[in-house]
Each structure stands twice: as structure tokens, then as C-alpha cells.
């Protein structure tokens, strides 16, 4: 909850109604809405959880898995904007309207990358 509130000043700078994104389930959220801030927090937490699990799985694998390493890189790349928002807020450094909006629009790609990496982890746990 604190994370969503912490992003509020960055995301409220986006004019209401002029920008929205579609979540992985197709719901359209205005970048300035409370729902979007909750969505950002949920995606941020999930991508961190999945990134940790992928890192531990790669470390535990004696032989590096190319598919898992590639999923980790896709996750890092896709979530760079979400992490930029979080870092800017933590450091109390404004990103500016355009950078904030551009970073906010990457949340669905981060969500998709986290879901894909998580699915790969799940399938590898089920494999012998």
C-alpha cells in the first residue's frame, strides 16, 4: 500500500483521462486513477518476487539454464520503467511528466514478463 501512495505524486502529474493502459486481463486503467496505482504496486511486488525466485533458481542450477536466464533478462528489461518509478520516488527525484508517463505505460509489459517468467519457473519445478 505504501508503494502505491509513494507513486501517487509521480502518476498524478498525468492529466486525467488522457492516458490509460490495458492490464493483462484487458481492463483499461487511467494512469491517474487509484486503481492504476494499486495495479502498479501489485505488479512491482510480483516482479520482485519472481525476479528473486528466478535468481535463486539460476544460482541453484549447477548448469545455467539458457531459457531461465533469458526470461530473467526479459523481466529486467520489461520492468525497467516500473523500477525507475520506484527508485525515483524512493530517492525523492521527480522524473518529469513525460518520463513518468512513459515509465507508467510499461507496467503491462512488466506484468506480462513476470507472468511468463513465473510460468517457466512453475513448469521447471514440475519437470523431472
What's residue 9's pLDDT?
47
Our CA angle for 82, 111, 66, nearest 5°, is 100
Distance between start and end Cα atoms, the chain? 39
Q: Which pTM does this prediction carry?
A: 0.79
* Residues in the chain with pLDDT values less than 50: 1, 4-5, 8-17, 128
What's residue 8's pLDDT?
47
Spatial separation of the C-alpha atoms in residues 81 and 99, rounded to whole Å: 9
**Helix ranges (DSSP H) in 79-106:** 80-90, 97-104
What's residue 91's pLDDT?
92
CA-to-CA separations, 80 to 118, 126, 127, in angstroms, rounded: 18, 30, 30
What secondary structure letter does DSSP report for 21? Answer: E
What's residue 74's pLDDT?
97
Spatial separation of the C-alpha atoms in residues 39 and 43, rounded to whole Å: 6
Spatial separation of the C-alpha atoms in residues 43 and 49, rounded to whole Å: 10
How is the chain split into domains, by residue range?
Answer: 2-126
State the virtual CA torsion across 102, 107, 112, 118 in degrees, nearest 10: 130
Amino acid at each position: 500500500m505504501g508503494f502505491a501512495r509513494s507513486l501517487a505524486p509521480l502518476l498524478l502529474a498525468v492529466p486525467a483521462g488522457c492516458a490509460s493502459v490495458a492490464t493483462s486481463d484487458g481492463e483499461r486503467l487511467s494512469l491517474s486513477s487509484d486503481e492504476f496505482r494499486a495495479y502498479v504496486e501489485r505488479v512491482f511486488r510480483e516482479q520482485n518476487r519472481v525476479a528473486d525466485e528466478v535468481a535463486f533458481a539460476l544460482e541453484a542450477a549447477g548448469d545455467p539454464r539458457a531459457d531461465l536466464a533469458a526470461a530473467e533478462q526479459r523481466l529486467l528489461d520489461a520492468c525497467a520503467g516500473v523500477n525507475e518509478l520506484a527508485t525515483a520516488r524512493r530517492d525523492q527525484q521527480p522524473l518529469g511528466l513525460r518520463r513518468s508517463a512513459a515509465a507508467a505505460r510499461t507496467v503491462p509489459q512488466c506484468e506480462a514478463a513476470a507472468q511468463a517468467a513465473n510460468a517457466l519457473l512453475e513448469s521447471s519445478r514440475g519437470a523431472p
